[in-house]
A and B are shown apart, each in its own frame.
Chain A
Amino acid sequence: MPRTVTIGLNVNGIRHELNVEPRWLLVDVIREVLGLTGTHIGCEHGVCGTCTVLLNGETARSCLTLAVSVDGAEIFTVEGLNRGGELHPLQEAFREAQGLQCGFCTPGMLMLAHELLRENPKPSEQEIRESIAANLCRCTGYQGIVEAVSLAAERAATATTGTRS
């Protein structure tokens, strides 16, 4: 039997010590070992971005990442976005602008949008399109997603202005 390696991962703020085979993909560890099935598998060759998670704060294809290669990393998945019964403002914006339909690409899109708004709180439509073009959506035609990210950015700006005044 293949040997396993012990790694540490902090996933959505919870620390795990895991024995993994060297060839296991991060997405399989997230889904199969940790049971966090919100991160989906779309193509397993790094094109569709459905498996996107935040790895030490940066978006990463978890289907192209070996779990052993990220020992000690902080992973953030869709399950980390909302706590309890409240949706995260980004999720709320996706709901209002209908930035989803079947929901399969949605967790990955939320990760992209989360990173974009952190790096660029007031993105233009073109900047949003360039960011989300990293991932594929087969349902929406992207329009609702672009509007959702825009809406989330506007609201965050209003909220910030509100606190300052």
Chain B
Amino acid sequence: MATTERQWIGKDIPRLEDPKLLAGRATYTDDVKLPGMLHAAVLRSPHPHARIKRIDTSQARALPGVFAVVTGEDAKELTNPLPAFCAEPVVQYALAVDKVRFVGEAVAAVAAVDRYTAEDAAALIEVEYEPLPVLTDPFEAMKPEAPKLHDPLPSNLAFEKTLSFGDVAGDFATADHVIRRKLRWHRASAQPLETAGALCRFDPLSQKMDVWSNTNMINFVGWLIAGTLKVPASKLNLYPMYVGGSFGSKHVLGKVIGIAAMLAKRSGRPVKFMEDRVDNLLASENLACDRYYDAELAVTKDGIFKSIRVRVVDDYGAYFQFGHGTHGNALAQVTGPYGMGSFEYTVQCVLTNKCQQGVFRGAGSDAANFCLERLVDAAAQTLGIDPIEIRRRNFIRPDRFPFKTPCGNIYDSGNYPAVLDKALDMAGYAELRRMQAEARRQGRYVGIGLATAQQRSVYGPTEFWFWYDAPGLTSVPESVGLSLGPTGEFIVTMFSPFWGNSPETVVAQTVAEEFGINPSQVTVTYEDSQHGLPGAGPGGSRMTVMLTGAVVGASRKLKDKLARIAAHQFEAAPEDITFADGRATVRGVPDKSLSYGDLGLKAYWFKLDLPQGMESGLEARHTYDHPYLTKPSADRKDLGAFYPMMGHGAHIPVVEVEPATGQVRFLRYIAVHDVGTIVNPKSLRGQITGGITQGVGMALYEQSAYDAQGQPLTGSFMDYLLPTALEVPAFEVGHVETPSPFTEYGVKGGGEGGRMIAPAAIASAVEDALAPLGIRVDEVPLTPERIVSLVEAARAS
């Protein structure tokens, strides 16, 4: 599709963020130091489930250099439960109250002159536990007679619901084949290289609580955090920090903020708590979904998909922080890029003695893509149709957009055949298959995978509550301030922090596009929550869409004022003023033109040259709301549009599997994505290659594992394995651009697609490699042990 000629949107400009990051001069949370600041350390539970009978902190308190020790009793007194995005009565405090429910749960915390002393003191705390029955298997845990983790709940089955759309029974009854697979998606962990942390300073006289933390939603849930910390919302100030990666894992961070805040209140000093890696691996908000799928695809003999029926049991761990939001997320694209007419989705959310789920890039849609694409490959095999051909037969045609899915979510635009064609073309697919045939003749196990899947972007908050009968929130805004100073220089203020993405570059490119200046002339800054405008922050692949929208809105307001000033000067009509090349010019009259510097000077210093009644200064603030969100119907037969900026990708990994060792090596990896209009190709490529690398981790290495007794097996980077530069290939990345009709410039979000699609594609490639052994891949990660056991089982049968 042809795109409008643009000066800056779509250009590979160097990122504005980079110089300070490269020079080590960005201020991350752990870099902030205040006078009198203390350091915190946390004592964690060695038991997966136990009653806390007694805590003796006297020796810890007696250690020189220790200022405060807090336990669950202090948590009850100084804080309220942590914010939870669910209706069920699952209460969680920053420190365990009365009971511990997973290994690693924080039991006590110490503030001392330095971290060494704090760790020493934490080791001196004595805790007497009464061990309770441990539940690690969700199927055992959900039984009515199982011991309960949370007394107020009827059972450990915290939530259960079936949502059905269209004629599922009819579509299954009339199908020629029903493809059924039981699939397993283990829990992974986001593991940004910067752990979560917070520095809190409390003034007991004014009740003001200052918080420097790598949390995200400073202008969205700040008031909820104030509730947790028992301070008035107007007295809580959250400072935006540079964040060393999040990938969804730092949305709220109530635990670290709560611990630092309690210690600040008790000690009267500023207190910093930075998780160490063990804290982060065992007890943060890092963990992704942990699902058991029983899924069926109804298909005709010609390979046309009619319906999908998904039953999923999700092991949530000990708390229910984000509730079933990740299943709402999955519903946005549960039928994928395929035009089937109905689906049914049953979810059972089970609580067990493991650390709670948080959010990790993909947020449940990653697992849903894996489930659907496994069914599609199985259908192709069952029917003897080529996996490419079966997908083509089912793709929603490019002329059917905007497309309404069975549950009511809208896909804004797309061209799935074009994406697939480009991927096949880049791969040289026919030649690849010839290479594979040759390799097989040599006894090598080479596989070519394919996944064609959705990557939803720009979440609507209805996904958190449409499972319930009662309605919930509908706002997810993002704001910017835009000012033009007296010297003609632009400053953009953001109200959500840098989270390891490229927000400064995005806003600078947008201002440059709007005003015809160079992006390097734009200064970008961040504002704390006391001075903030509404902003939900990064998450759900929303920031590029939301920031371009907010900047365009602010630019319109600013241009309106500039046009009136220029029109007043030239006795022209404001609508005849154009903005380009750093100037405001009367259309068709090049000599009637003012530079932004001239206009800035007038606006700030020459009041009498302004139109009558106009205020001095040039500043516009704009809050951009979700560009396309509609309400779910009361009967929930239509969930409304909640994730409508729908990207798409096709991945073709080529792998070689060593059956004796279970090692998987990438020979090539082709990925083509369509995320609408591209703002910055290089930063998008980074999102894609980085996301695929996390997907490689999910597919082959990463699992937050527990043994049957509830003891974590992955408490260090020696056990929780992140891919290094040697586990991933040079990715071949391509783009198709199908603009969104709903957003400024047609942008869609591209932050999660790599991780959302790669596990499905790699599973397909490994299955293809092992096809001569008749092996089916139903489980990720495909660790060497799993592959070897699949091979051994296949050879034994």
Q: Are B15 and A98 in contact (CB under 8 A)?
A: yes
Q: Are B244 and A130 in contact (CB under 8 A)?
A: no
Cβ < 8 Å to B, chain A residues 69-104 = 77-79, 81-82, 87, 91, 94-96, 98, 100-104
Q: Are B277 and A45 in contact (CB under 8 A)?
A: yes
Q: Are A104 and B686 in contact (CB under 8 A)?
A: no
Contact with A along B693-729 (1 / 0, CB 8 A): 1100000000000000000000011100010111010
List residues of chain B with CB within 8 A of the CB of A105: 193, 244
Interface residue total, chain B, C-beta cutoff 8 A? 61
Whether A64 is near chain B, meaning CB under 8 Å from some CB there, is no
Q: Are A95 and B247 in contact (CB under 8 A)?
A: no
Q: Are A139 and B500 in contact (CB under 8 A)?
A: yes
Whether A62 is near chain B, meaning CB under 8 Å from some CB there, is no
Q: Are A21 and B116 in contact (CB under 8 A)?
A: yes
Q: Are A139 and B724 in contact (CB under 8 A)?
A: no
Q: Are B718 and A47 in contact (CB under 8 A)?
A: yes
Bound form: Cα–Cα A50–B730 in Å: 22
Q: Choose the segment among B25-33, B601-609, B612-620, B649-657 that binds chain A (4+ C-beta atoms closer than 8 Å).
A: B25-33
Bound form: Cα–Cα A129–B726 in Å: 6
Whether A67 is near chain B, meaning CB under 8 Å from some CB there, is no
Whether B194 is near chain A, meaning CB under 8 Å from some CB there, is yes
Q: Which of B18, B717, B754 contacts A95 (CB 8 A)?
A: B18
Whether B24 is near chain A, meaning CB under 8 Å from some CB there, is yes
Whether A1 is near chain B, meaning CB under 8 Å from some CB there, is yes
Q: A126's closest neighbor in chain B, by CB? A: B726
Tell whether A44 pairs with B276 under 8 Å between CB atoms, given A133-B726, A139-B686, A141-B686.
yes
List residues of chain B with CB within 8 A of the CB of A94: 18, 22
Q: Are B717 and A100 in contact (CB under 8 A)?
A: no
For the complex formed, measure the closest distance between the CB of B31 and the CB atoms of chain A, giving whole angstroms.
4
Q: Which of B20, B33, B194, B276 contacts A104 (CB 8 A)?
A: B194
Q: Are A101 and B19 in contact (CB under 8 A)?
A: no
Q: Which of B21, B23, B26, B725 contacts A146 (CB 8 A)?
A: B725
Bound form: Cα–Cα A104–B682 in Å: 19
List residues of chain B with CB within 8 A of the CB of A48: 193, 277, 717
Q: A85's closest neighbor in chain B, by CB? A: B19
Whether A125 is near chain B, meaning CB under 8 Å from some CB there, is yes
List residues of chain A with CB within 8 A of the CB of B251: none
Cβ < 8 Å to A, chain B residues 91-139 = 114-116
Q: Are A103 and B689 in contact (CB under 8 A)?
A: no
Q: Are A141 and B21 in contact (CB under 8 A)?
A: no
Cβ < 8 Å to B, chain A residues 28-54 = 28, 31-32, 35-45, 47-48, 50
Q: A37's closest neighbor in chain B, by CB? A: B31
Interface residue total, chain A, C-beta cutoff 8 A? 59
Bound form: Cα–Cα A106–B704 in Å: 26
Bound form: Cα–Cα A67–B690 in Å: 35
Q: Are A141 and B716 in contact (CB under 8 A)?
A: no
Q: Are B24 and A37 in contact (CB under 8 A)?
A: yes
Whether B243 is near chain A, meaning CB under 8 Å from some CB there, is yes
Q: Are B244 and A129 in contact (CB under 8 A)?
A: no
Q: Are A104 and B23 in contact (CB under 8 A)?
A: no
Tell whether A106 pairs with B22 under 8 Å between CB atoms, given A130-B726, A138-B192, A142-B728.
yes
Main secondary structure, interface of B, reads loop
List residues of chain B with CB within 8 A of the CB of A41: 30, 274
Bound form: Cα–Cα A37–B24 in Å: 7
Whether B17 is near chain A, meaning CB under 8 Å from some CB there, is yes
Q: Are B686 and A101 in contact (CB under 8 A)?
A: yes
List residues of chain B with CB within 8 A of the CB of A32: 114
List residues of chain A with CB within 8 A of the CB of B277: 42-45, 48
List residues of chain B with CB within 8 A of the CB of A125: 730
Contact with A along B1-37 (1 / 0, CB 8 A): 0000000000000110111111111111011010000
Q: Are A132 and B193 in contact (CB under 8 A)?
A: no
Q: Are B193 and A42 in contact (CB under 8 A)?
A: yes
List residues of chain A with CB within 8 A of the CB of B334: none
Q: Which of A1, A36, A50, A98 contacts B193 (CB 8 A)?
A: A50
Most buried by B among A98, A107, A130: A98
Contact with B along A127-151 (1 / 0, CB 8 A): 0111011011111111111100000
For the complex formed, measure the closest distance between the CB of B751 and the CB atoms of chain A, giving whole angstroms.
11
Whether B501 is near chain A, meaning CB under 8 Å from some CB there, is yes
List residues of chain B with CB within 8 A of the CB of A106: 21-22, 24
Q: Are B717 and A132 in contact (CB under 8 A)?
A: no
Whether B191 is near chain A, meaning CB under 8 Å from some CB there, is yes
Q: B39's closest neighbor in chain A, by CB? A: A32
Q: Are B685 and A98 in contact (CB under 8 A)?
A: yes
Main secondary structure, interface of A, reads loop
Tell whether A137 pairs with B193 under 8 Å between CB atoms, given A79-B23, A106-B22, A142-B728.
yes
List residues of chain A with CB within 8 A of the CB of B730: 125, 143, 146
Q: Which of A37, A101, A133 contacts B500 (CB 8 A)?
A: A101
Whether A23 is near chain B, meaning CB under 8 Å from some CB there, is yes
Whether B322 is near chain A, meaning CB under 8 Å from some CB there, is no
Whether B692 is near chain A, meaning CB under 8 Å from some CB there, is yes
Contact with A along B186-199 (1 / 0, CB 8 A): 00000111110000
For the complex formed, measure the closest distance between the CB of B663 and the CB atoms of chain A, giving whole angstroms.
16
Whether B222 is near chain A, meaning CB under 8 Å from some CB there, is no
Most buried by B among A48, A91, A103: A103
Q: Are A103 and B14 in contact (CB under 8 A)?
A: no
List residues of chain A with CB within 8 A of the CB of B31: 31, 37
Bound form: Cα–Cα A82–B25 in Å: 11
Tell whether A143 pairs with B718 under 8 Å between CB atoms, given A44-B277, A102-B244.
no
List residues of chain A with CB within 8 A of the CB of B244: 40, 102-105
For the complex formed, measure the closest distance between the CB of B576 and the CB atoms of chain A, giving whole angstroms.
41
Contact with B along A1-31 (1 / 0, CB 8 A): 1000000000000000000010110001001
For the complex formed, measure the closest distance between the CB of B183 and the CB atoms of chain A, giving whole angstroms.
26
For the complex formed, measure the closest distance between the CB of B692 and the CB atoms of chain A, giving whole angstroms.
6
Q: Which of A24, A45, A104, A128 contacts B28 (CB 8 A)?
A: A104
For the complex formed, measure the closest distance between the CB of A4 and the CB atoms of chain B, giving whole angstroms.
12
List residues of chain B with CB within 8 A of the CB of A104: 28, 192-194, 244-245, 500
Cβ < 8 Å to A, chain B residues 494-530 = 499-502
Q: Are B193 and A141 in contact (CB under 8 A)?
A: no
Whether B403 is near chain A, meaning CB under 8 Å from some CB there, is no
List residues of chain B with CB within 8 A of the CB of A1: 64
Bound form: Cα–Cα A41–B279 in Å: 14
Whether A60 is near chain B, meaning CB under 8 Å from some CB there, is no
Tell whether A140 pairs with B194 under 8 Å between CB atoms, given A45-B718, A102-B500.
no
Whether B242 is near chain A, meaning CB under 8 Å from some CB there, is yes
Whether A110 is near chain B, meaning CB under 8 Å from some CB there, is yes
Bound form: Cα–Cα A103–B731 in Å: 21
Whether B356 is near chain A, meaning CB under 8 Å from some CB there, is no
Q: Are B686 and A45 in contact (CB under 8 A)?
A: no
Whether B683 is near chain A, meaning CB under 8 Å from some CB there, is yes
Q: Are A77 and B116 in contact (CB under 8 A)?
A: no
For the complex formed, measure the closest distance between the CB of A84 and the CB atoms of chain B, giving whole angstroms.
11
List residues of chain B with CB within 8 A of the CB of A50: 193
Q: Are B728 and A87 in contact (CB under 8 A)?
A: no
Bound form: Cα–Cα A45–B784 in Å: 24
Q: Are B690 and A138 in contact (CB under 8 A)?
A: yes
Q: Which of A23, A47, A141 contacts B717 (CB 8 A)?
A: A47
Q: Are A43 and B25 in contact (CB under 8 A)?
A: no
Q: B682's closest neighbor in chain A, by CB? A: A98
For the complex formed, measure the closest distance between the CB of A65 and the CB atoms of chain B, giving whole angstroms.
15
Task: Known A-B contacts: A102-B245, A132-B725. Give 14 more (CB < 8 A).
Answer: A31-B31, A41-B274, A45-B716, A47-B717, A81-B23, A82-B23, A101-B686, A102-B501, A104-B194, A133-B725, A137-B725, A142-B693, A143-B689, A143-B730
Jot down 8 A-B pairs with beta carbons below 8 A, ordered by A: A38-B23, A95-B15, A101-B502, A104-B244, A106-B22, A141-B693, A143-B730, A143-B731
The 10 closest A-B pairs by CB, nearest first: A38-B24, A103-B21, A102-B500, A104-B244, A141-B689, A47-B717, A141-B693, A78-B24, A37-B31, A142-B725
**A residues in contact (CB < 8 Å) with B:** 1, 21, 23-24, 28, 31-32, 35-45, 47-48, 50, 77-79, 81-82, 87, 91, 94-96, 98, 100-107, 110, 125, 128-130, 132-133, 135-146
